[in-house]
């Protein structure tokens, strides 16, 4: 049986994007192919992963990494699937584990739980491996940083994702430029102007500061020139003290 390394498993409230407020089981996987300046996630593979025993208790059991997929299915079922909207598969970048997810996802779906994939939107070939089994895709558009741009790979990714339910999330900060936002807006508009697009003000971290109110409204207007459904939503799980 294939094995998968994990960072953590917990049941909590989705804090970002259009599904904010729904209950999900979160499966956080390690490693990422990017190094974003505002990243708040540990991405190395830990020797052990943690599972919150009672949701919200901050009491954890630990298990050794990597875990066989059949054992992982058992672990996830400590939570009542019928009370959860979906399994939120997050990271890191979960598509780095697409071979393992191709085995896990059908088992989850057989148990009646949907798959909600949170991804940085830069691995389109890996997306195709799992796309038939995914129900909702939360795709980041990464604005350029450290001289790197992702426009072409993001556009391919979004075109593939559009076969399923997809929304786009763009993290913005006080130094985000209008030029980059125009590029992002035009990319989404080329694929489908009705794709839900979220501007997410960064939670201030490591010297990256959240935008001011004027900037957020100006940027939403810029997007609304070409897109139909543009929302500004911060990370609400942090306000609530959720994992």
How many CA atoms does the CB half-sphere of 134 hold within 13 Å? Answer: 29
Out of 34, 196, 216, 243, name the contact with ligand SF4 by CB under 6 A.
34
Considering beta carbons, is residue 34 or 216 the nearer one to ligand SF4? 34
C-alpha distance from residue 26 to each of 63, 109, 191, 206 (Å):
16, 15, 29, 25
Q: Which is nearer to ligand SF4, 36 or 153 (CB)?
A: 36
Q: Rounded CA gap, 239 and 191, in Å?
A: 33
Cβ proximity of 27 and 6 under 8 Å: yes
**For ligand SF4, the closer CB: 39 or 63:** 39
30 is an interface residue for ligand SF4 by CB under 6 A: no
- Please select the residue that binds ligand SF4; options are 4, 9, 32, 170, rule is CB under 6 A: 32
User: What separation in angstroms does the CA of 198 have from each of 127, 140, 170, 231?
Assistant: 21, 9, 6, 5
C-alpha to C-alpha distance for 100 and 206, rounded to whole angstroms: 33
Q: Which of 96, 100, 99 is nearest to 119 (CA)?
A: 96
| Interface pick for ligand SF4 out of 17, 66, 92, 124 (rule CB under 6 A) | 92
Work out the angle at residue 142's Cα, subtended by the Cα atoms of residues 134 and 24, and round it to the nearest 5 degrees. 35
Of the residues 3, 41, 83, 149, which one makes contact with ligand SF4 according to CB under 6 A? 41
The yes or no reply on residue 43 touching ligand SF4 (CB under 6 A) is yes
Between 203 and 236, name the residue whose CB sits nearer to ligand SF4.
203
93 binds ligand SF4 per the rule CB under 6 A: yes
The whole-angstrom separation of Cα 210 and Cα 240 is 18
Binding mask 128-157 for ligand SF4 (x = CB under 6 A): ------------------------------
For ligand SF4, give the closer residue by CB, 18 or 121: 121
Which residues in this chain contact ligand SF4 in the complex, by CB under 6 A? 32, 34-36, 39, 41, 43, 91-93, 120
């Amino acid at each position: 049986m294939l094995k998968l390394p994990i960072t953590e498993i917990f049941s909590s409230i989705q804090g970002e994007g259009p599904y904010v407020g729904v209950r999900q089981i979160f499966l956080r996987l390690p490693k990422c192919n990017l190094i974003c300046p505002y990243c708040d996630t540990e991405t190395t593979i830990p020797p052990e992963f943690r599972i919150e025993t009672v949701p919200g208790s901050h009491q954890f059991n630990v298990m050794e990494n990597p875990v066989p997929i059949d054992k992982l299915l058992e672990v996830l079922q400590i939570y009542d699937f019928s009370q959860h909207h979906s399994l939120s598969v997050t990271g890191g970048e979960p598509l780095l584990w697409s071979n393992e997810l191709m085995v896990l996802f059908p088992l989850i779906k057989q148990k009646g739980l949907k798959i909600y994939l949170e991804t940085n939107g830069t691995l389109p070939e890996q997306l195709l491996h799992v796309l038939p089994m995914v129900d909702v895709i939360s795709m980041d558009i990464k604005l350029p940083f450290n001289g790197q741009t992702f426009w072409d790979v993001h556009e391919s990714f979004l075109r593939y994702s559009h076969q399923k339910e997809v929304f786009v999330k763009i993290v913005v900060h006080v130094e985000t430029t209008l030029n980059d936002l125009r590029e992002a807006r035009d990319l989404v508009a080329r694929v489908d102007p009705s794709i839900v697009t979220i501007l997410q003000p960064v939670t201030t971290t490591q010297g990256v500061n959240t935008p001011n109110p004027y900037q957020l409204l100006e940027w939403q207007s810029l997007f609304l020139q070409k897109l139909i459904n543009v929302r500004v939503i911060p990370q609400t799980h942090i306000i609530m003290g959720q994992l």
